[in-house]
């Protein structure tokens, strides 16, 4: 029982400490660190999209729009609050508070993205399937176009200055802050999703996926469940966006177009619809694959879609199908409980 | 006590009259049948009562409260449960999860409890699970709790679907052709099952059925409709000898 409760937390903590120490003493260089950070961010992106596409069975292909909202809202907030900036002038709060303020800023970005999720959630009451998919693409474009047209935050040129917030945190303590934040928010996101879909309440969205009419007649308030699922999914995407913006130190509306949404979709389908562990595995694999294929440059966008075609032909259910790791290796249940 | 009262229920589908001036009163604990040839409008009545359609005209009262205009999930949480002609279980979930999920409206915990796994969450989930297990036990389905419905026989799926409907603890159960697609030995079992549910749960049951054997042996009262119009009402005896009913079922030339 104790083994079951503690194995996962101890492993995670050991992992965090190792990576942070390796980064601290520069055993792994900045490039490797960035890849590790992207793994975490992509885990949030794929598992949050999986909530809608996998668990609820709707087809959202505008996930990048919500990532963009989170990225911009948290970037603008953190720069305005904690950094000297050309546009916003002197920081509104003393920069030494950045390390406390940063998670709150990320959450604010997540909340903003969750409300942007209404753009898709409300039409989903009346529309589903292909028609809803088109609405999600439209939502993605609306968000990107709005950002391009707000000159105050850089418009098409993009927005930068987030590195100064990181420096402000490093002035307080010289540790790899972003590794810590990405780790914490990745773990929290997975816990949130896992708790949601394993509760009878959250299983309402799985009921919608399997038979929406039956869900409605068996007292599931399908509209409310869709609203919650879409807002949770886009909210977590917003947090991933905030982390992404602070890792890169620069955001540009172009990096959140349909190509980014496609990346998220590839991860979900690679991992398996409705499998959280599948989403985690595929996010790791996909991030590494992107880096390995980097020398191919633009050709990698031939290689990756090709991979998707092969996947759909030979294993349409993805790596895990709709099962979790513990379903495939029951012995793991001794070490962790998927509830 | 009147459980369900329908007054002048009329339904048009873009000009086509599917149901015209339908009236019925169901008293508590009654077992009533609704029969008629294919396309007569029987399922339309059920879809209207359970909130899938908004009636063109007429009123539906459940326990003296109007329920027309409510969404299906609201009607269900008031105490009306139903099954479908073609079984609609959640096939990728376990039988137990199917039964537990039918209590979705009365979970008694919120989003915050769910994310923080509060004491209230644990207690409520445990209670829902216990209620579901109890129900499975009295339906003799305990050993199938972890099975997926898609792996069960048609008869067992039917049984699980009825158990799921009862899981929301309704006052009125609507059964839409429960015997459809069942082999004849299973039909005998189904008749016993419905009879037993009626006695055990003491609820009103209203059923649509094509198989005369089922309706005639179970229902105390039967309504017959054809082309959306009620053509006869009465006891099974009366219905069997009603010339209009014979005509509707067998056609003119058979007489």
Tokens representing A220 are 């599931």
**Residue ranges in chain A assigned as alpha helix (H):** 2-24, 30-50, 63-82, 98-116, 118-121, 130-148, 162-172, 177-198, 203-210, 212-217, 222-248, 258-271, 276-292, 300-314, 325-328
Subunit contact B168:A200, Cβ cutoff 8 A: no
Q: What is the average per-residue pLDDT within B132-144?
A: 95
Measured at the CA of A281, the angle between CA A278 and CA A286, to 5 degrees, comes to: 115
Total residues found in chain B within this entry:
255
Q: What is the dihedral of CA B186, B191, B194, B195, to 10 degrees?
A: -140
Q: Band the pLDDT of B254: cuts 50, 70, 90.
A: very low
Q: ipTM score of the complex? A: 0.91
Question: CA nearest A263: which of A33, A25, A85, A38?
Answer: A38
Q: What is the average per-residue pLDDT within A168-195?
A: 94
In order of A207, B84, B105, B124, B200, the CA distances from B166 in angstroms are: 17, 14, 14, 19, 11
* Domain-wise residue ranges, chain A: 11-257
User: What is the per-residue DSSP string for A34-56?
Assistant: HHHHHHHHHHHHHHHHHIIIIIS
Size of interface A-B (CB pairs under 8 A): 94
* Domains of chain B as residue ranges with CATH: 2-88+154-254 (3.40.50.300), 93-147 (no CATH)
Question: CA nearest A105: which of A19, A37, A168, A174?
Answer: A168
Q: Band the pLDDT of A338: cuts 50, 70, 90.
A: low
Q: What is the pLDDT of residue A31?
A: 93
Q: What is the pLDDT of residue B255?
A: 45
Q: What is the average per-residue pLDDT within A155-180?
A: 92
Distance CA A304, CA B134 (A): 51
Question: Which helix H or strand E contains B20, and what residues bound it?
Answer: strand B16-27
Tokens representing B111 are 């989003």
Give B73-103 pLDDT, tens digit per residue. 999 999 999 999 999 999 999 999 999 999 9
User: Chain B interface, mutation test: which of A206, A218, A235, most B Cβ atoms within 10 Å?
Assistant: A218
- With beta carbons less than 8 A apart as the criterion, state whether A46 and A267 touch: yes
Phi/psi for A225 (5° steps) reads -65, -40
Closest residue to B117, CB basis, from A195, A219, A228: A195
In order of A9, A187, B75, B114, the CA distances from B111 in angstroms are: 24, 19, 23, 5
Cα–chain-centroid distance for residue A238?
A: 7
User: Chain A interface, mutation test: which of B94, B115, B133, most A Cβ atoms within 10 Å?
Assistant: B115
Q: What is the average per-residue pLDDT within B32-57?
A: 93
For residue A221, which residues of chain B lie inside 8 Å, CB to CB? Answer: 71, 73, 104-105
Cβ neighbors of A130 (< 8 A, separation 6 or more) are: A59
Distance CA B42, CA A94 (A): 71
Cβ neighbors of B82 (< 8 A, separation 6 or more) are: A217, B46, B50, B165, B173, B174, B175, B176
Closest residue to A218, CB basis, from B109, B117, B168: B168
Q: Which residues are registered as beta bridge partners of B34?
A: B208, B223
B253 has a pLDDT exceeding 60: no
Q: Band the pLDDT of A67: cuts 50, 70, 90.
A: very high
Q: What is the pLDDT of residue A77?
A: 95
Give B180-230 pLDDT, tens digit per residue. 888 888 899 999 999 999 999 999 999 999 888 899 999 999 999 999 999
A221 has a pLDDT exceeding 90: yes
């Amino acid at each position: 029982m104790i083994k079951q409760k503690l194995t996962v937390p101890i492993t995670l903590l050991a992992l965090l400490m190792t990576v942070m120490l390796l980064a601290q003493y520069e055993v792994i260089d900045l490039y490797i660190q960035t890849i590790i950070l992207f793994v975490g961010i992509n885990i949030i992106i794929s598992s949050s999209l999986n909530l809608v596409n996998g668990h609820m069975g709707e087809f959202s292909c505008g996930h990048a729009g919500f990532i963009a909202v989170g990225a911009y809202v948290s970037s603008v907030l953190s720069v305005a609050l904690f950094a000297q900036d050309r546009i916003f002038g002197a920081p509104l709060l003393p920069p030494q508070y950045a390390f406390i303020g940063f998670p709150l800023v990320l959450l604010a970005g997540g909340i903003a993205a969750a409300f942007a999720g209404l753009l898709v959630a409300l039409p989903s009451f009346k529309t589903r399937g292909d028609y809803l998919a088109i609405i999600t693409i439209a939502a993605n474009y609306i968000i990107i176009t709005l950002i391009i047209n707000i000159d105050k935050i850089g418009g098409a040129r993009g927005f930068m200055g987030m590195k100064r917030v990181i420096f402000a945190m490093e002035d307080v303590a010289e540790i790899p802050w972003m590794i810590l934040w990405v780790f914490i928010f990745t773990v929290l996101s997975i816990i949130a999703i896992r708790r949601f879909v394993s509760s009878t309440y959250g299983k309402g969205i799985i009921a919608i996926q399997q038979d929406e009419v039956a869900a409605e007649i068996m007292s599931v308030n399908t509209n409310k469940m869709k609203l919650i699922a879409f807002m949770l999914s886009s909210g977590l995407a917003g947090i991933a966006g905030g982390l992404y913006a602070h890792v890169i130190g620069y955001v540009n509306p172009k990096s959140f177009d349909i190509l980014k949404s496609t990346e998220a979709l590839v991860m979900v389908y690679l991992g398996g619809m409705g499998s959280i562990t599948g989403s985690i595995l595929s996010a790791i694999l996909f991030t590494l694959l992107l880096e390995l294929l980097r020398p191919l440059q633009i050709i990698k966008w031939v290689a990756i879609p090709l991979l998707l075609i092969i996947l759909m032909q030979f294993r349409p259910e993805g790596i895990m199908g709709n099962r979790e790791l513990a379903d495939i290796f029951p012995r793991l249940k001794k070490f962790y409980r998927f509830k | 006590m009147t459980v369900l009262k329908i007054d002048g229920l009329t339904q048009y589908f873009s000009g086509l009259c599917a149901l015209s001036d339908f009236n019925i009163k169901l008293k508590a604990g009654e077992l009533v049948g609704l029969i008629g040839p294919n396309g007569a409008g029987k399922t339309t009545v059920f879809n209207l009562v359970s909130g899938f359609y908004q009636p063109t005209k007429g009123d539906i009262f459940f326990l003296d409260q109007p329920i027309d205009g409510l969404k299906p999930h609201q009607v269900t949480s008031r105490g009306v449960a139903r099954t479908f002609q073609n079984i609609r279980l959640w096939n990728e979930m376990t039988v137990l999860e199917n039964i537990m999920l039918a209590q979705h409206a009365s979970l008694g915990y919120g989003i915050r409890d769910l994310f923080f796994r509060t004491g209230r969450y644990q207690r409520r989930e445990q209670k829902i699970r216990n209620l579901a297990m109890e129900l499975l036990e009295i339906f003799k389905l305990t050993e199938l709790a972890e099975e997926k419905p898609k792996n069960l026989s048609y008869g067992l799926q039917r049984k699980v679907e009825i158990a799921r409907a009862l899981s929301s603890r309704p006052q009125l159960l609507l059964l839409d052709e429960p015997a459809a697609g069942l082999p004849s030995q299973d039909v005998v079992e189904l008749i016993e099952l419905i009879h037993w549910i009626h006695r055990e749960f003491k609820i009103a049951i209203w059923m649509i059925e094509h198989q005369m054997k089922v309706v005639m042996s179970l229902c105390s009262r039967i309504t017959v409709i054809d082309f959306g119009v009620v053509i006869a009402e009465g006891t099974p005896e009366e219905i069997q000898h009603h010339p209009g009913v014979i005509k509707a079922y067998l056609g003119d030339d058979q007489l």
